[in-house]
Every structure is written in C-alpha cells, then in structure tokens.
Amino acid sequence: MGAGRFAPSPSGDLHVGNLRTALLAWLCARSTGREFVLRVEDLDRVRPGAEERQLADLAAMGLDWDGPVVRQSERARFYDAALASLGGRGLLFECFCTRREILEAPSAPHAPPGAYPGTCRDLTDAEREERRALRPAALRLRAGTSTFTIEDELHGSYEGVVDDFVLRRGDGAVAYNLAVVVDDAQQGIDQVVRGDDLLSSAPRQAYLATLLGAVPPTYVHVPLALNTAGRRLAKRDGAVTLREIGPAAFGMVAASLGLTGSTAADLLDGFSIDRIPREPWIFVPPA
C-alpha cells in the first residue's frame, strides 16, 4: 500500500479549515492502511516560525506521520532532473508572456479564463532571441492533450482542461504544478486528500505525472471550511486558529465530520471515505 500526505505552505498559522483537511488526509490514509507523510511546501511565502507552529498544531490534533518531514526547498535537484527529462523530449518551450498579456489574449473556444492561448508555443529562434532581450523566459509544458480525466473518491470521474502550463517561472522558481507531481511520485503518494478548490488543477498534475512515468494518485477533494458569509475562511473571521480557539477546536472539527472522540485515533472507528460530508463546513467562531 502507498501513502497519503498533508502538504501545508508555511505562510502563516493553520486555521481550523486547514486542520480539518489535515485530519481528513490522516483519516483517509490510516483507514486504508497507508502511511501518512508530511511535506512542507516552502518554495514561496515562508513566514519565520510558521512551520514550527504548524507542526506543533498538527501534533496537538493527534496526527502523527511516517518518516522525516520533507521540505520542497531541499529538493531542487529532483525538479531540475524532471525538467531536463521533459526538455530532452521536446516537451518544454520558453514563454515570455506576462499574466496580463495572457488574460487579454483571445483564448481557444471553451477554454477557461486565463488558460494559456499558445502565444509563444511556436516562436522561431529569432523571435525567441528577440524576446529574451526584453525579459527572462518561463518554461511551459508542451501539452499533447487539451483535457485529462482523473478519478476522485467524492466527485467521481472528473475531466478538466490541460493547457501549456508553467513548470518554471521567469524568475527561475519551480512552479507548484511541477514540484507537487515530482514529490508525490518520489514519496509513493497514491492518495491525495486536499480542498476541492484544487479539483480543477488535478487533471494538469495527473497528466504531467504520466509524462514523468508515474501513475496518477487517487484523489479525494474535500469541501472547504467557509465563514458565515459563504466565503473561504480567513484570519478576518476572528478566532480561527487552534491557539485562538483552544482545546474545543478538535471537537468542533470532529463534529463537522459527523464524528465523535477525543483523539484522532478515536475517530478512525466511525470513519470511511464515503461518509465525508459533501457540503462545505460553515464555521461559526466560538463565543
């Protein structure tokens, strides 16, 4: 059996919605006999001390993990190797477009807003040389399909758009869509549990996994925690972190899943993936 994972970005403290997703990832992995690994996605927006507080909060929720914590900032050689493999097969091209240029460019029929329109896909050598003098190039995948279908435990078969998405940004930083695929493949992750706001990105990542010789994982995209106005939970909503809520936080999260118990291990008895709520959790801060 493979492994599940939780992969927070150390940009601040985890709120109860993040902790709920972490608990679900742990429950899904442990209930299916998988290992559970923790990966810190620290390629962007690192706030000093955030990783330490996040790990402490996860432990306070009763979550344990197998093996050492993996940090993306320490894995550049693996991302470089993946880029070299794709580039060697002619599957990368340089792109000089700004975000604004992409948004303002005519898009293909039925493509979602912001999908890459292919502006730099077939530049001549002379055109590329001219553009390099103006700005550094990002590297995009030369996709061989326009859609890809993934399997999700809650959403079933989901077909999503695959465009020529960025794998390395113009500033040289590795893009999330590459890093997460390389990491999941190397860590033996065959079950990905995360918020359903990321469902639309899964087909791109699964397609890239196949290009890199990996089997796409099974996905479980779970509903988010929302505030009483129906928007994504954030610091502006008051007491939303474990430290702010206190010991009652675990019970609130468990109750939102229809489960009871005082520890994460207690929740395993009544848990199965098909019982995960399908609707968002409307979080009401404690009085």
Say how many CA atoms lie within 13 Å of 96 toward its Cβ. Answer: 13
**Residue 235 assigned ligand-binding role:** yes
**Residue 95 assigned ligand-binding role:** yes
**Residue 129 assigned ligand-binding role:** no
Degrees to nearest 5, angle at CA 48 with 46 and 49? 115
State the Cα–Cα distance between residues 158 and 238, nearest whole angstrom. Answer: 35
Among this protein's residues, is 235 annotated catalytic?
yes
**Residue 97 assigned ligand-binding role:** yes
Say if residues 30 and 36 touch (Cβ distance below 8 Å).
yes
Which token pair is 92? Answer: 């990368």
**Residue 132 assigned ligand-binding role:** no
State the Cα–Cα distance between residues 117 and 164, nearest whole angstrom. Answer: 8
**Residue 7 assigned ligand-binding role:** yes
Which token pair is 42? Answer: 């620290």
45, 231, 235, 243: the catalytic one is 235
Residue numbers in the known binding site for Zn(2+) are 95, 97, 116, 120
* Binding residue numbers for ATP: 235
Binding site residues for L-glutamate, as ranges?
5-9, 41, 176, 194
Point out the residues that are catalytic.
235
Known binding positions: 5-9, 41, 95, 97, 116, 120, 176, 194, 235
